[in-house]
Structure 1
Amino acid sequence: MIYPSRRFILAAAAVAPAALMIGVYAPAWWTAGLGLLVLLFLLAALDAVLGPAVRHAELGCGTPYAVAVGETFPVSLWVRFVRRAPRKAWFAIGTEGPIAAPEGLRARGAMERDEGAADVALTAERRGTANVTMIWLRWRGPLGLVWKQRARALDQAVLVVPDIRPVRDKGIQMANREALYGQKAQLQVGEGAEFEALAAYRQGMDRRAIDWKQSARHASLIAKEYRTERNNNIVMALDAGRAMSEPFAGQPRIDRAVSAALLTAYVALKDGDRVGFFAFDSRPRASSKPIGGPRAFSTLQRVAAGIDYSASETNYTLGISTLAAGLNRRSLIVIFTEFADTISAELMLAAVGTLLERHLVLFVVLRDEELEAFAAAEPQAPEDVSKAVAAAGLLQERRLVLTRLRHLGVHVLEASAAETGPALVSTYLGFKRRGML
């Protein structure tokens, strides 16, 4: 695309009145005024021909695969010309999704010989998938009378995932500390699920590990050694309904759940297990089969970034039945949810029963510190008493539901927002040590 520059418009604005004055006061020389305008347009045409042609510019863009919420990241732009590049050029990009440009979407390129480059800084505002949709480059001709512009349509996705870096190091430390489990033979019954070998009984070993038949055959005490089974299925089931999408301590609950799920998935994959994600509200929204291997975590990040915020009520019956139908072996199912009332909790309790027949189920709920603060605060006014009574009633209903879950055989993890990720990792590693997976 070629279009006039500001310099051309100002020159035309100055020449037009001069041509008009010549036509009025010197009619015999009216062609001189017209000639000025023709000369200006000829110079603009010459300016468009000189210098690099639009078709000779090859544009490109580089973006990171995934960024954390709140992170500022650069979008690298580059151009390559068939012939020598112009001295000055400007880049611009078009974006959509949960990102912002604090310094604008334009940048001046650093041009050298036949190529140039520039960076545009973007900030990830919330979880989701952002896209760089367009890239533009424009430069002026040698006379500065016209702009030459090249555009290219793009569809480069950037996954915006929760920032798990502050807690991932802690999770790695926990995993390294517990790396003994699942890699070496365990001496205690219940510390492993898979038979490893027979060994001579030693002081300190659990007496229940003694194999009496083998001991009688060898005329000495022989004990069984166990190791923790690997390649277990871990499924992170995330409730993405209205209650989980509401803000909690400055961040939606679903974001905190996704952060804890990714942290645990990172540790589980390092430990040799397979991890899958499943999200649902009024119907299933995102799903991935349990996967393992070096590229599994990036796949899980992509699935997690696609879990959107929802205003729909959660349909536990449909979501959990769909999840159960897709599992063909025993799995640890970690359900992140939040129940606003006892009616939704009753539906949740009824749906969970189908999972307990075959799978190990762990419920993860965020401790409502705001309600606890209302219930424990010393009243200063009559309305404070009403708040405390209402908060205490809600907490009592919450404890009742969690107690009923435990009586059904469900494991329940209730932790503060800041400690949910590390607490879930500890619980998962505890299940592995006890051979429950």
Structure 2
Amino acid sequence: MKIFRALFVSVRLWLILLGFALAFVVAYVWPLLFPLVQIAFAAFVVLLLTEGFLLFRQSTVGNQPVFFARRDMPERLSNGDENPITLYLESRYAFATPVEIIDEIPFQFQRRDVLFTAHLKPNEPRAIRYELRPTRRGEYSFGAVNVFVMTPLRLLKRRFQFEEGRLVPVYPSYLQMRQYELLAVSNRLTELGIKRIRRVGHSMEFEQIRPYTQGDDLRSINWKATARRADSGQAALIVNAYQDERSQAVYCLIDKGRVMQSPFEGLTLLDYAINASLVLSNIALMKQDRAGLITFSEKIGQVVPAERRPGHMRKLLEVLFRQKTRFLETDFEALYTTIRTQVRQRSLLLLFTNFETLNGLQRQLPYLRRLAKDHLLLVIFFDNTELRGLLNTPARSTEEIYMKTIGEKFAYEKRQIVKELQQYGIASILTAPQDLTANTVNKYLEMKARGMI
């Protein structure tokens, strides 16, 4: 029974059988051809049995399986990123084996093209690489790696199955977080669109004094220390060295309401906000600040106090991974109450939400003004990229003119929302979803450089 379960036939075999059927029909009309067709068919049957024998005669070679395959992938996948998957193959057949590989990927990807072909020589390892881009957090179930091995005749197939039943969690974009972290360490954040911020004045903490080097700000020269050094016979300029102010509290406030349900390139705005929050929290910890998190919708979700302890980044990652929502109406009053009772120190609050109309902002503006009174509030909301594409397309009919007029109205209201927030001294970012992380990190570094937090 195992042999029959592993036995499959190729399309080539069905075509040959169809050809023999037509040949027998022709031989029925011309009987002289019948013996030739019979001999050819008998030879074909012998060839088929020989191929089956070569495929199934052994399951191992020595102590090793006759064919081996393995799926190599991360222990967790990064949401919204291209995650590398590698299939390792090795054949120990005595002859060259054409193979077909079907990887049973989770249904969430809705892909039917994960079929690969290869041609393996005896004892030749082969690696096949492809990428998967998940668009939802959660657990994904991978099935088996099905390998169909054939002889050079390609008539019969023997199926091997490997890596059955594996659950892999999909976390917020930790690949993006690592990318920003590595570039921040090497001072190459400009490659991701992060601007260099010129520091104005000395809004930083004093760290130490050191000898002057070319490029130092002349205003930082410590003349008293320089004079003392000159009196001792060492003529060298001494400058004051400063470091960024540390231990500032930075909170990411993530709106999980219905306004964050809109999709963009497969991800919801909520997932874009979660990915950006993860990156920003990591950058804040690298800048010696304390990172915290509050999620909210119709009620308050998780509250993670701002800390900078070992393992805190891991804690934030796990909390963001488990975020669930029904996309109901957001309660900003509950958010304000929670922050007032649990965030005692003046902090930087980065509010990830979305406003489509000016009326929608004005309903929540009283709570935003109260938050801005006690904290430094930065409201981050999204530009409608589909609407932007509509506005950039020339109208060719009356209906398109009508649609474009409505689009202009919505775009105008987005700009009015920014001005309305500026009127009350509330900083804001209007950004496309794909630029959210870079724009948010830019604004955080700008505020930090200017000593606003």
State if a TM-score over 0.5 links the two structures: yes
Residues 51, 277 of structure 1: alpha-carbon distance in 2 compared, 3 angstrom cutoff: same
Post-superposition offset of 1:424: 3.1
Q: 1:51 aligns with which of 52, 59, 62?
A: 59
Residues 283, 87 of structure 1: alpha-carbon distance in 2 compared, 3 angstrom cutoff: farther
Equivalent position SS for 1:436: coil
1:257 and 1:77 map into 2 onto residues whose CA distance is 33
1:263 and 1:108 map into 2 onto residues whose CA distance is 39
Amino acid aligned to 2:161:
R
Post-superposition offset of 1:117: 4.7
Q: Residue 154 in 1 paired to residue 169 in 2?
A: no
Contact 2:356 2:410 in 1 (8 A): no
Equivalent position SS for 2:351: strand
Task: Give the TM-score, by structure 1 length.
Answer: 0.60
Residues 228, 47 of structure 1: alpha-carbon distance in 2 compared, 3 angstrom cutoff: closer
Amino acid aligned to 2:420:
T
Runs of 5+ in structure 2 lacking a partner?
A: 15-19, 21-47, 211-216, 221-239
Cross-structure match for 2:9: 6
Q: Residue 436 in 1 paired to residue 442 in 2?
A: no
Cross-structure match for 2:429: 413
1:129 and 1:339 map into 2 onto residues whose CA distance is 27
Q: Please, what is the CA RMSD of the aligned residues?
A: 5.8
- Higher mean alpha-carbon deviation, 316-325 vs 234-243, is at 316-325
Post-superposition offset of 1:347: 4.8
Q: 2:420 aligns with which of 403, 409, 422?
A: 403
2:250 and 2:81 map into 1 onto residues whose CA distance is 29
Matches within 5 A, 1:31-430: 50-52=58-60, 60-64=70-74, 65-66=76-77, 69=80, 71=82, 74-78=84-88, 88=97, 90-96=100-106, 98-99=108-109, 101=111, 103-108=113-118, 110=120, 113=123, 116-119=125-128, 121-124=130-133, 126=135, 128=137, 131=140, 133-138=142-147, 147=158, 149-151=160-162, 152-159=164-171, 161=173, 170-171=189-190, 177-178=196-197, 188=202, 191-192=203-204, 194=205, 227-247=243-263, 253-254=269-270, 257-258=273-274, 260-261=276-277, 264-265=280-281, 267-283=283-299, 290=306, 311-319=327-335, 321=337, 327=343, 329-341=345-357, 344-352=360-368, 355-356=371-372, 358-367=374-383, 370=387, 384=401, 388=405, 391-392=408-409, 395=412, 399=416, 403=420, 406-407=423-424, 410-415=426-431, 420-430=436-446
Amino acid aligned to 2:160:
Q
Kindly provide the CA deviation profile for residues 26-66 of structure 1, in whole angstroms up to 9, marking residues without a partner as x: xxxxxxxxxxxxxx99x989975633299957764212455
Residues 45, 381 of structure 1: alpha-carbon distance in 2 compared, 3 angstrom cutoff: closer
Residues 368, 198 of structure 1: alpha-carbon distance in 2 compared, 3 angstrom cutoff: same
Equivalent position SS for 2:252: strand
Q: Alignment length, in residue pairs? A: 377
Equivalent position SS for 1:95: coil
Kindly provide the CA deviation profile for residues 230-288 of structure 1, in whole angstroms up to 9, marking residues without a partner as x: 23332222324332332579985446545654554454344333434544444456776
Contact 1:100 1:125 in 2 (8 A): no
1:326 and 1:109 map into 2 onto residues whose CA distance is 63
Amino acid aligned to 2:440:
L
Kindly provide the CA deviation profile for residues 84-139 of structure 1, in whole angstroms up to 9, marking residues without a partner as x: 899645543222265355742455484654x8554252442635457351223445
Residues 99, 187 of structure 1: alpha-carbon distance in 2 compared, 3 angstrom cutoff: same
Runs of 5+ in structure 1 lacking a partner?
A: 15-39, 206-223
1:287 and 1:403 map into 2 onto residues whose CA distance is 29
Post-superposition offset of 1:392: 4.4
2:389 and 2:52 map into 1 onto residues whose CA distance is 73
Residues 6, 136 of structure 1: alpha-carbon distance in 2 compared, 3 angstrom cutoff: same
Post-superposition offset of 1:363: 0.7
Cross-structure match for 2:44: none
Amino acid aligned to 2:104:
G
Equivalent position SS for 2:247: coil
Cross-structure match for 1:217: none
1:249 and 1:100 map into 2 onto residues whose CA distance is 15
Q: In percent, how many aligned pairs have the same letter?
A: 18
